[in-house]
Amino acid sequence: MSGSLHPDTAVKSTGAMFAHAVLACALSHDGRKSVVSTLRSDGPLVLRQCNPKGPEPLIHKRRDIARASLAAGTAGPIGGDRYALDVHVGAGSTLVLNEVSAMLVLPGVGGGQSRMSITITVEAGATFVWWAEPIIAAHRCNHRHDVRIALADDARLVLREEMLLGRHGETPGDFTSRLRITRGGSALYDQQLGFGPSAAGWNSAAVLGGRRAVGSIIAVEPDWVQTPPAALPYDTHAALTPLAGPGVAIGAVARDSLDLRRLLTQGLNTLGPPWAI
Amino acid sequence: MGQQAALLLLADGRLPAGGYAHSGGLEPAVRAGRVTDMAGLEAFLIGRAATAGLIAAAFAAVACQRMARGDLTDLDALETELDARIPSPELRKVSRDLGRQLRRAMQAIHPHGIYAKLGPAPHQPIVMGVAAAVLGLDPHRAALAILHENNAGAAAAAAKVMRVDPFDVHAILARMTAQLDHLARSAAQAADGPLADLPAPGAPLSDIAAEHHRRSDVRLFAS
């Protein structure tokens, strides 16, 4: 698989959970609405069709699109676990994926690494809205998060990712998260964030500056090939930056989860309709 | 072995390639009050080397390896992959400005036909990698050269934007040599894998600070 970064060479640890969930949507036969065509939950990864959860960029609670929610069927992931989620957004369809609650990443009994790989394909003319809740890296966790998104040339995307460095008053364990987005097979956005005792310099002024929450919103709009939004550092700890391709990254480094959500929403709203919420 | 003198030539801050005009994000970090003392400076340099430094080193290593093989077919893909790893348009521009200046310098100092084929504004790590190969250096040394040049450049800027003792600044550089060696090895290893898997460690505050810095009225350094 050309988009796959890490060959899985890990040894199975006792009691670890392995889960592989699949979500797909497609345009209905009459082409008038998007429908969920595959909804395969697996153990801790529980997928359900759902109603709009709150404000949604781009979609604004439309009823003719497919909408699913990811819930945790158990605590975790914990060290040793391997979770995988595949999402496929069929040509011309629109899918919203949200989450019921934040994901708390915990250390395992044996101290192994937990991993979650999410692979997303968005076909021609399709739209994917991924409005996730924060990932919380608990003390002594050891987690690798890996998200790969392959967009067709004329696909649209908006996603939010938020990471919290430990629960209240605790220091985070080792955590890395990579988000790689390709468009028409070419790299559009590729960023990894790593922090925790094994990482170097993450708490410095160059990376996170001692703050406890970090996140971004990525929006990809094919029309921005002609007229990309201008760069806008709208807060001392947040900026909207146009990518080299037709997308923007809104990045923020915040004191806590509320501050982070506020900064990211503020950045998104500078894009105006239909992105603003 | 061999070519050690060529490595020193390429990594030397006195190479007239425009690096002196940049603080590697240190000036904006000091202006924002995020770096206030020597401990903060050391952490900043370590964090920067582990993020932007590792990316630059890996791309220099790949460019060097491809040039040494005489196969630059994925040069465009390399530029695109590097763009994808730099969210800030200001930092992409800085990288391309420095690349253009380094190419001009190397073309004058040690001409080679490849420099004309690198496009109007190639990224600095890619020019560095190509220049290293032209000088007979391997990917590991190309990585080392750009890690050292970028790190020493940012450290030298400390004297202009903070109250520092130059001995203390160089003490940080001395303590960082093992980290740079480690990063250069990782970069050279990554050069053997697919481009999509090249390291991509982000530095959110550096991106944010760079966008503020460009709009600042009073600044000593371009970045």
Report d(CA B91, CA B100) in Å as an integer.
14
Q: Which residues in chain A are closer than 8 Å to B197, comparing Cβ atoms?
A: 5
- Rounded alpha-carbon distances, angstroms, from residue A216 to A53, A133, A206: 20, 12, 17
Q: What is the pLDDT of residues B28-39, one digit of tens each?
A: 999 999 999 999
Of A178, A199, A239, the CB nearest to B207: A239
Q: What is the ipTM of this complex?
A: 0.96
**What is the reported pLDDT for A1?**
35
Most confident of A7-21, A68-82, A124-138: A124-138
Instruction: Judge: B205–A203 Cβ closer than 8 Å, yes or no.
Output: no
Residues of A in contact with B75 (CB under 8 A): none
What chain B residue is nearest to A179 in terms of C-alpha separation? B200
The single residue listed with the structure tokens 């053997």 is: B192
B80–A243 C-beta distance less than 8 A: no
Render pLDDT for B156-196 as a digit per residue (tens, 0 to 9).
999 999 999 999 999 999 999 999 999 999 999 999 999 99
Q: What average pLDDT does chain A have?
A: 93
Interchain pair A241, B80: CB under 8 A: no
C-alpha A187/C-alpha B14 separation (Å) is 35
Q: Is A149 near chain B, with CB under 8 Å?
A: no
Query: Is residue A187 within 8 Å of B196, Cβ to Cβ?
Result: yes
* pLDDT confidence bin for B84, thresholds 50/70/90: very high
E strand or H helix at B141, and its extent? helix B139-161
Q: Is the pLDDT of residue A11 over 90?
A: no
- CA dist A245 and B85 (Å) reads 12
What pLDDT score was predicted for residue A12? 52
Contact between B62 and B196 under an 8 Å Cβ cutoff? The reply is: no
What is the arithmetic mean of pLDDT over A179-207? Answer: 97
Give the nearest chain A residue to B203 (CA atoms). A207
Nearest to B210 by CA among B43, B92, B84: B92
Q: Which residues in chain A have Cβ-Cβ distances shorter than 8 Å to B195?
A: 187
Residue B203: pLDDT over 60: yes
pLDDT for A111 equals: 76
Q: What is the mean pLDDT of the segment spanning B66-94?
A: 96
The CA–CA distances, whole Å, from B33 to A165, B26, B36, B162 equal 22, 11, 6, 11
Spatial CA neighbour of A235 closest among A212, A194, A265: A265
pLDDT tens readout for residues B112-133: 999 999 988 999 999 999 999 9
Find, in chain B, the residue whose alpha carbon is nearest to that of A3: B196
- Cα gap A99→B62, rounded to integer Å: 39
Question: Cβ of A228 under 8 Å from any chain B Cβ?
Answer: no
**Kind of pairing, strands A34-40 and A18-27?**
antiparallel
Residue A39's CB: how many other CB atoms inside 10 A?
15
Instruction: Tell me the per-residue pLDDT of B38-58, one tens digit each, with 9 for 90 and over.
Output: 999 999 999 999 999 999 999
Q: Do A233 and B49 touch (CB under 8 A)?
A: no
The alpha carbon of residue B9 and the mean position of all alpha carbons in its chain are separated, in whole angstroms, by 15
Whether pLDDT at A3 is above 50: no
Look over chain B and give the mean of its residue pLDDT values, rounded to a whole number. 95
**Best mutation site among B31, B208, B212 for testing chain A: the one with the most A CBs within 10 Å?**
B208
Chain A to chain B Cβ contacts (< 8 Å): 147
Report the C-alpha gap between B167 and B43 in whole angstroms: 17
- pLDDT at A222 exceeding the cut of 60: yes
Are the beta carbons of A192 and B202 separated by less than 8 Å?
yes
| Two tokens, residue B205 | 């505050």
* pLDDT higher than 80, residue B97: yes
Rg of chain B over Cα atoms, rounded to whole angstroms, equals: 16
Mean pLDDT of B95-116: 96
A141, A173 Cβ separation under 8 angstroms: yes
CA-based nearest distance B28→chain A, Å: 10
What residues in B contact A3, CB-CB < 8 Å?
196
A151 DSSP β-pair partners: A122, A183
Q: Which residues of B touch A201 (CB under 8 A)?
A: 43-51
Q: Are A129 and A97 in contact (CB under 8 A)?
A: yes
Residue A205 to residue B44, Cβ atoms within 8 A: yes
Tens digits of per-residue pLDDT, A105-121? 999 888 799 999 999 99
Q: Domains of chain B, with CATH numbers?
A: 4-9+31-214 (1.10.4190.10)
Identify whether the C-beta of residue A276 lies closer than 8 Å to the C-beta of residue A57.
yes
Average pLDDT over residues A157-184: 97
Out of A194, A209, A251, whose CB is closest to B207?
A: A251
Q: A1 versus A40: which is more confidently predicted?
A: A40
